[in-house]
Structure 1
Amino acid sequence: MQAGQYIVKFLGDFVIILGEMAPYLLLGFFFAGLLYAFIPREKIDKYFNGSPFRSSVFSSLLGIPLPLCSCGVIPTGAALYKNGASKGGTVSFLISTPQTGVDSILATFSLMGLPFAIIRPIAALITGISGGLITSVITKNEPVEQHVAETVSKPKSLTHKIKAIFRYGFVEFIQDISKWLIIGLVLAAIISALIPNDFFELLNMSPILQMLLILVVSVPLYICATGSIPLAAILILKGVSPGAAFVLLMAGPATNAATITMIGKILGKKSLFTYLATIIIGAMGFGLIIDYALPVQWFTEITSQHLGHDHGTNLAWWQIGSGVLLLGLIINGYIQKYLAAKQNSESQLKNDIMKVQTIKVEGMTCNHCKANVENNLKKLAFVDNVVVNLADKSVTLEGDDIDLEKVKETVESIGYKAV
């Protein structure tokens, strides 16, 4: 096959994968906005304490539908812990949340079928509860840190909530995941175009060896729950066992080098060990169940129908329209991010004559990071206003007698590094 044919096949496969996922992603983004607008933060916080079993169950149940991958869940979990959540509840949240989300569950159903869409939240729930319970037991003798209570937000009108649904679901959330979603789609299309079907079957690797290989790659690297779906689907088409593909779906979003570092720093080594062990054992355990205890056709037929060579390029009009709309929203997200960064820069220039301080903060990657830093710094008595610029990783503070040491202490207590 010549280079031009590979390019044509890559573009065709990219369009097919995008068209299959886009309608369900758009629906998932809408539900993400609903969760953001109608479930206030303080309503979630109160479920992260209590008995170990209660906090682990409620933290996992609340985390599963939330549209947070590890770039957003780590600072969110750190903020919850800082504001009074137990270590067990926090670890449950950190394990269960990045594995799933309303958007990724719907996208999994669209591309990989109902069995995968069902088993993903079940695995997240079981591993989340298990990790939380174990953490509560092994850290029960550790001293309890003093926490600062979260300021309760004022109720918003229905009009504000409706605006928040679309602002968060179709702008801010897309800004957070678009990079990794595009990477996942592109890699899936490249693999589909370059690697022959049943390639991994020809290597004659056992399912267990495939799982271990994918696990070694997945743990240190980052990929979001939604971006992992096209990769897992294409790997099944190329001969990887469904169980090994599930290891990617589970371990890829839940772990990465940055996550591991931050959990160890904020929650301690015992909590970090429990977190990693639970995800690794859970991923391997569910992978083995899928490969050896359940019918293989449950996990391969849908993927072959959607992405196999017999499927062609016969996308329905609503799939094509959804794909175009999704690409438009992604482009709009980058434009909005650029305009916001430009506006923040202009505001900083105008505020030069005011009592302001600007610091650099490393580790901020998404709008959840931005909100966590702003909300925690606004609690400081000497701070009147805080503006985070994600583009250049800067934080501008306005106020009288700003105590930079206290600012640095606050920033680092929620898992970032103030420079």
Structure 2
Amino acid sequence: MSEGKLSKKEWFYFICVVVLYILAIWYVAAHNLSWSSLFKAGILQEKGVTGLEARVKEISTPLSWNIPLVFWYIIIKGAALLVELLPYWIMGMFIAGGLVVFVSWEKVKHKMGYGGFGANLMATTAGAVIPICSCGIVPVLAGMVEAGVPLGPTLAFLISAPMLNVPTVFMTAGLLGKKMAIARVISVFAISMSVGLIVSYWQKKRKGLRHLVKIYVQPNLPPELQKFAYSLAVKLVRKPEGLTLDEIGIENKAKLEELEEAEVIEQTKDEKWRLIQRDDSKYQSGCMILPQGYQGTFGQKLIQLWKVSWQLFFTLNYYLVLAVLIAGAIRVLIPTSVIVNFVGGKALNSVLVASVVAVLAYVCTYVEVPTALALIEKGMGPGATLSYLLGGPGLSLPSIMMLSAVFKPKLLWLYVGLSFVGCVIAGYIFNLF
């Protein structure tokens, strides 16, 4: 993520966001639909339908061979969802910016290391307490990665935040029963902690984030090491093929190893040190560590917070647009009524099917409880319901697509695979009680 002038691509997707938002507003006004359903649930709903019904019912979109009409419904339903998501998305950007500007990378690294039990428990608890839904978690995640939070606790937070928070616990207890609410809390902590510890162990073995994440993690180096890194970067820019240890100075070996761990430089096969060239930036690593940091006054930090937040917003809009269009396609091609009937049958009343449906049927946090109630009324069992509650907010296809803005494929599918297995196991265990 490079600062400076915005690219044509970033401007294009920003315009797409604005156009989709305006399109949804126009459609609701032109067809005299419910404004509250649009802003609170992201759906196109006739007036007069309130409460839980507004969460699970939508205007009908009959499928036909009229392909342009089908595409129109996909776009308009995706646009409606964007109206609900956008406030959370922007809020997530500012939380992410705050993490980048105010969180000390050195303190985080010192406290969390590669992410032990305590670090993962802290991250899981924070995710469960902070009221942020799946719609805004991706920019926050980007900020955590850029701020230097280890991957294990980052993923623990990523899992617990959309799957669980205080309002959804009370909603679950009130609509689905205390037993389901307790099972949800225990399951989320078990899944988050397990994934966090596994990824922490995996990261410790691999060391470094360059091959796992797409976002550049700017090292917050001590002042003395910053000066050395800058002077070394100037030499290496002039000699990009690299310098030997003798040319740099054998007394600087320890500093070189620290910069290698921070992924600023790397050692080649012929034992030369060179700058790491970033694929996602026109700059080399050494050019990113000028001795600046965010060490100004509180007012200066607020200005930097604004800049970082909006840079994140423009950088990640592509994934937001793609995600809402995928969600729109799911809503049109797989209507809620079809999903209810499909999962409600006794023969398909299984935890595995419910977990798969949770991935396919996009539900934002706070929406999964009333939709789960509708599924229960159609005959879905308790274990399948729990799997749906866990998988729906965190493992939907649009959410996975947005996460690809931060994770490279190997880490993304590790997260998806472990989380999916955790949801299935939790559902099967709950069926035993």
TM-score range, shorter chain: 0.3 to 0.5
TM-score scaled by length of structure 2: 0.46
